[in-house]
Chains A and B, each alone.
Chain A
Amino acid sequence: MMSRIFTSALFAGAAAGLIAALLQLYFVQPVLLHAELYETGELVHFGGAAVSAHQDVGGIDHVRDGLSVLFTMLVYTGYALILVAAMALAESRGHEVAGRQGIIWGIAGFFIVHFAPGFTLAPEVPGVAAADVYARQVWWFATVGTAAIAVWLIAFGRNWVSWGIAAVLLLAPHVIGAPEPDTFTGPVPTEIGALFAARAFGVGLAAWVLVGLFAGYFWQREGQRAAQAQTA
């Protein structure tokens, strides 16, 4: 069981992480580098002459982008381990899990770790004003944790009580509110900030659909292999 979870998760996390990294480098990184021109003060977009929206943000930085690929693969491997563990739990309770169901699991995963916290703490472009990072991390983990429980209750709950609890768990972190900055000091144009958040969500969704698909596929395939090995 342990090796079945680990093998499926490592394959799924590495494959989806690599694709996610390439999508990120193509769609998110130029927006991030553009924002950093304002973060560092190289560009200033108010109080002076109009600034062109088309800037040379530089090409590929081998060390920086290589580290991004490595860390994206690590992050999605971490997520895949948790996802496959949850799939194993669902299967042990009689639910079928394969590639097709995995897509739904992936969408749920995106909802839990990207959209639920991002609904109030939107993906941050570099340079934005933000509250203390530790306070935001506590809120992030609490929101992801409650969203995970809520999604499980929605998916596997059988009555209105569990769905009601799920709704409360989903709403509570946002009604209570996340740590927000006292003043706005962000030097980056809102256009870049909005594009960054949208791109981060879009790539996150694509990556999670792939993690779910691969995790479900490898999970089922590893299960078949183990079953064959037992009967052989």
Chain B
Amino acid sequence: MTTQTAAFAASKKSVLLPIIVCAVFGLAIIFVTGHVQAELLHDAAHDVRHATGFPCH
């Protein structure tokens, strides 16, 4: 294995954790803003939920 491919393999591993963390964080934002049915959140995000095609009501 050359140094370059070794470095590539190492960077591949270190890249996975931040990718997963950011994706989960993004998913959490989508869940809270678009899907949680708590009345306050639902009312505040009502128009956006309809316009963005999330199931509403």
Chain A interface (Cβ < 8 Å from any Cβ of B): 1-2, 5-6, 9, 24, 28-29, 32, 64, 67-68, 71-72, 74-75, 77-86, 88-89, 92-93, 113-114, 117-118, 121-126, 130, 133-134, 136-137, 139-140, 196, 200-201, 203-204
Which has the most chain A C-beta neighbours within 10 Å: B21, B25, B26?
A: B26
Tell me if A72 and B29 are in contact (CB < 8 A): no
Closest chain A CB from B50 CB (angstroms): 6
Within 8 A of A (CB), among B1-24: 11-12, 14-16, 18-23
Tell me if B35 and A137 are in contact (CB < 8 A): yes
- Taking A1-B14, A2-B18, A133-B37 as contacts, is the C-beta distance between A126 and B53 under 8 angstroms? no
Which of B18, B29, B53, B57 makes the CB contact (< 8 A) with A117? B53
Tell me if A9 and B22 are in contact (CB < 8 A): yes
List chain A residues, Cβ under 8 A from B14.
1
Main secondary structure on A side of the interface with B: helix
Task: Give the CA-CA distance A114 to B49 in the complex, in Å.
Answer: 12
List chain B residues, Cβ under 8 A from A24.
47-48, 51
List chain A residues, Cβ under 8 A from B54.
137, 140
Within 8 A of A (CB), among B27-57: 27-30, 33-35, 37, 44-45, 47-48, 50-57
List chain B residues, Cβ under 8 A from A203.
51
List chain B residues, Cβ under 8 A from A77.
26, 29
Tell me if B19 and A85 are in contact (CB < 8 A): yes
Which has the most chain B C-beta neighbours within 10 Å: A1, A6, A86, A126?
A: A1
Tell me if A133 and B57 are in contact (CB < 8 A): yes
List chain B residues, Cβ under 8 A from A6.
22
CB-CB nearest 4 A-B residue pairs: A81-B26, A78-B29, A136-B55, A82-B26
Which has the most chain B C-beta neighbours within 10 Å: A117, A137, A140, A200?
A: A137
The 27 sampled A-B contact pairs (Cβ below 8 Å) are A5-B18, A5-B19, A24-B47, A24-B48, A32-B51, A64-B47, A71-B33, A71-B48, A75-B30, A75-B52, A77-B26, A78-B27, A78-B30, A79-B30, A85-B18, A85-B22, A88-B18, A89-B16, A114-B53, A122-B53, A123-B53, A130-B55, A133-B55, A200-B52, A201-B53, A204-B52, A204-B53
